[in-house]
Amino acid sequence: MKKRFFPLFLKTWLNFAIMTTIFLLLLWCFQLFFFNSSYEKKQEDYIRNISDELVENFEDNPHYYSKIQSFAKSNNYDIYIFRIDEGEIKGDSSGGYYFDENLDVIVCKPDSKTIVYKPVKNVLTWSAQRENEFIQNIIYSDFGSFFFVENSDLPSTFNFMVYGNLLMKSSSSSSVNQNFYFCLVAPILNSGYTVNILQNQLLLASLISLIISMFISVIFSREISKPINRLALTASTLAKGDFSVNFQGGSFKEVQILSDSLNFAKDEMSKTEQMRRDFIANISHDLRTPLTMIRAYAEMIRDLSGNTPAKRTQHCQIIIDEAERLSSLVADIQNLSKLQSGTEVFTPTTFDMSQLCRTVINRFGIMSEKNGYVFEFSAPPLQAYADYSKIEQVLYNLIGNACNYVGEDKKIIVGCEDVGNGIKVSVSDHGKGISPEDLSNVWIRFYRANEKKRNIVGSGLGLNIVKMILDGQHFDYGVDSVVGKGTTFWFVATKPIDKTST
């Protein structure tokens, strides 16, 4: 079954929408399940802290009472100071405390069990059971007592949070329950009512957030997909063979990196295409020239020199030479194909590298006689461990390349030396050299550094074959060149393993 693909724009938009929805759902979950407990806990901690601070700083003087009066006014709290006598709440109407009827700090009246607000119209009545519960908690608890008291007189959106604690122990040793206590009553907003308000606000905020996030996701997804779609369109144009296109990036670093990579790949493809065309032109020329000569000299033998042995021999030799040239060209193509496919097998053996160099140089002796080339080589016997036939081909290609680009002195220097970690072989000429910008390209197939030199023999595959052979045997190799002074190609072959040292 064919896999379905969705546009990047749609997937990006959906991801934003899902992320926003999940965030809002989490917000609603916290609102519905954790708000009440969190709200009450924070209110409780706050009331406890301010009450303990007032108890800790208690002083029996008008300044203290004025202080808590001001505090009660500013926070809309009710603060009570009372004593408990035989299980009943008693106000202090006699014993040396500076309570005043005009203070907003409310004190329990001695003639009732009712905690009265001032002004008197706001009354909160506790049942006997609730009063007894409060008394027991505040007497026997070390940390005070918190509980809610529903208020029927004030709006139902409010509750009372009550906190009590020991204020001062009685100075009388005989009165075990004559201690004075501190009580703070704080009206707090009903959490249910608060939740309703927050839910309404949160619903509106959620709708607005969802709309804004969708709008932003559309813009952002377009910003992402637009440059990618543009790159895809440019790539389709490139696939048609138009190498003049240019990949344009966008506002994102990754897209810019992608466009730079595609531009680099496009440039390399353009170079490869140009080299392919050059190769076809070169190979056509290299094939056509010997074929033309073979045909021409064959016709000459047939028509003119057939009865003249000397001319016939000369013409036949030219035909043989051109046939060998064709054979060499076909062999290069076959070798390159094997190396590229990975089917070529390397069989290393131990041999004398110096002797191999001499053998290959001797094969170029005919060029010394015809063209005046001078080959310099001097080296002691040096044992190497490599594929003999492949290294022979490497040397043949390197020396042949040096012959193509030899300088006016027509001198080619072949070196062979022990460099410690291997046997280094070098082939140098005093030609025009290779420019730095062309130096890294000499190993590429079909590439020629000097296109103007048309009398070069070969297909442009030799150095690429050298590279693949040396890579296949993991040998170090390279090229050093100075423009106007010459070029040196070199490689380092492995030494045989010395079994006596192991």
The rounded distance, in Å, linking the Cα atoms of 497 and 502 is: 9
Identify whether the C-beta of residue 383 lies closer than 8 Å to the C-beta of residue 422: no
Residue 382 pLDDT grade (very low, low, confident, very high; cuts 50, 70, 90) = very high
Identify whether the C-beta of residue 191 lies closer than 8 Å to the C-beta of residue 173: no
Q: How do residues 125-184 score in pLDDT, each as one tens digit?
A: 455 555 566 666 666 665 555 555 555 454 556 677 777 777 776 655 544 455 667 777
The rounded distance, in Å, linking the Cα atoms of 485 and 455 is: 21
pLDDT at 347 over 80: yes
Which domains, and CATH codes, for the chain? 58-189 (3.30.450), 253-339 (1.10.287.130), 346-501 (3.30.565.10)
The rounded distance, in Å, linking the Cα atoms of 378 and 375 is: 10
Compute the mean pLDDT over every residue in the chain, rounded to the nearest whole number.
Answer: 75
Return the pLDDT at 102. 34
pLDDT at 451 over 70: no
Return the pLDDT at 185. 76
The rounded distance, in Å, linking the Cα atoms of 482 and 488 is: 9
The rounded distance, in Å, linking the Cα atoms of 288 and 143 is: 109
Return the pLDDT at 173. 52
Identify whether the C-beta of residue 36 lies closer than 8 Å to the C-beta of residue 191: yes
Residue 86 pLDDT grade (very low, low, confident, very high; cuts 50, 70, 90) = low
Check residue 350 and report its DSSP letter.
Answer: E
Query: How many beta carbons lie within 10 A of that of residue 452, not counting itself?
Result: 5
Query: How many beta carbons lie within 10 A of that of residue 436, not counting itself?
Result: 10
Write out the DSSP string of 161-191. EEEEEEEE--S-SS-TT--EEEEEEEEEE-H
Q: Encoding tokens for residue 319? A: 């035909």
Task: Report the length, in residues, of the chain.
Answer: 502
Q: Encoding tokens for residue 115? A: 């905690």
pLDDT above 70 covers a percentage of the chain that reads 70
Return the pLDDT at 383. 95
Q: How do residues 209-227 score in pLDDT, each as one tens digit?
A: 888 888 887 887 777 778 8
Range among 275-289, 331-345, 488-502 with highest mean pLDDT value: 488-502
Q: What is the b/e burial string over 363-395, where b = at least 16 CB atoms within 10 angstroms of the residue's CB?
A: ebeebeeeeebebeeebeebebbbbeebbbbbb
Q: How large is the average pLDDT for residues 73-89? A: 67
Which residue, among 400, 328, 415, 406, has the nearest Cα to 372 in the 3D structure? 406
Q: How do residues 87-127 score in pLDDT, each as one tens digit?
A: 544 443 333 333 333 333 344 433 333 333 333 333 344 55
Identify whether the C-beta of residue 206 lies closer than 8 Å to the C-beta of residue 97: no
Query: How many beta carbons lie within 10 A of that of residue 431, not counting itself?
Result: 22
Q: Are strands 115-116 and 411-418 parallel, antiparallel or unpaired?
A: unpaired
Q: Whole-model pTM?
A: 0.45
Q: How large is the average pLDDT for residues 423-433? A: 94
Return the pLDDT at 486. 93
Identify whether the C-beta of residue 77 lies closer than 8 Å to the C-beta of residue 184: yes
Work out the angle at residue 112's Cα, subtended by the Cα atoms of residues 108 and 114, and round it to the nearest 5 degrees. 60
Helices (H), 343-387: 353-363, 365-371
Provide the edge-to-edge strand list for the sheet that holds 88-90: 88-90, 78-85, 180-189, 158-168, 145-150
Q: How large is the average pLDDT for residues 413-437? A: 93
Identify whether the C-beta of residue 435 lies closer than 8 Å to the C-beta of residue 450: no
